[in-house]
Amino acid sequence: MAQNRTVAVIVGSLRKESFSRKLAKAIAAVAPANLTFDFVEIGQLPFFNQDLEQTPPQEWVDFRDKVRAADAVLFVTPEYNRSIPGVLKNAIDVGSRPYGHSVWNGKPSAVVSNSPGAIGGFGAYHHLRQSMVFLNMPTVNQPETYVGGVASLFDENGELANEASREFLTGFAQTFADGIDRHLT
């Protein structure tokens, strides 16, 4: 029987009704029951500035504590200008410091990118994966999860309305759960 695991969910979009947030909620809804998803907000984080490390802002401390407490991390992000949003990069930097005390180190992770366009956030996906490699985060390699046409996947209530997408996300969530167990046992 699989152990219960907590997954910190980092959404790369701040918009209340963002497609990334809807997608993250859809993944949580179809994931195996042993996974609990904790949405960790990033919009309130002051910009990373190493000068502040002597007395880090409380928002940094709280963010680091939430991620540190999780067993794994799910990043769900849109693509901005062929890369990740600045707010997401800031969260990654805040979590990676102080040097030698990264909250990301060794945490199993997965990346899901999305775009209303056909490419599905390919650039953001791969830029984020580069950071995960550097931060020593074992990452789900397959399936590569770029979700194109995301604007058409949800109904007026924000629920996933596409059965093929539901099946794909269910398989992805199971693969992520299996990867978490593989890395933590």
Average pLDDT, integer, range 76-99: 95
pLDDT for 126-176, tens place per residue? Answer: 999 999 999 999 999 888 888 889 999 999 898 899 899 999 999 999 999
**pLDDT band of 1, cuts 50, 70, 90:** low
Q: Which domain holds residue 168?
A: 5-184
The pTM of this model reads 0.96
pLDDT value at residue 70: 98
- DSSP-assigned letters across all residues of the chain: -PPPEEEEEEES---TT-HHHHHHHHHHHHS-TTEEEEE---TTPPPP-GGGGGS--HHHHHHHHHHHH-SEEEEEEE-BTTB--HHHHHHHHHHT-STT--SSTT--EEEEEEESSTT-SHHHHHHHHHHHHHTT--B--SS-EEEESGGGSB-TTS-B--HHHHHHHHHHHHHHHHHHHHHH-
CATH number at residue 169: 3.40.50.360
Q: 116 or 62: which carries more pLDDT confidence?
A: 62
**pLDDT band of 28, cuts 50, 70, 90:** very high
Average pLDDT, integer, range 19-30: 96
pLDDT for 89-135, tens place per residue? Answer: 999 999 999 999 999 999 999 999 999 888 878 889 999 999 999 99
Q: Count the domains in the chain.
A: 1
pLDDT for 5-22, tens place per residue? Answer: 999 999 999 998 899 999
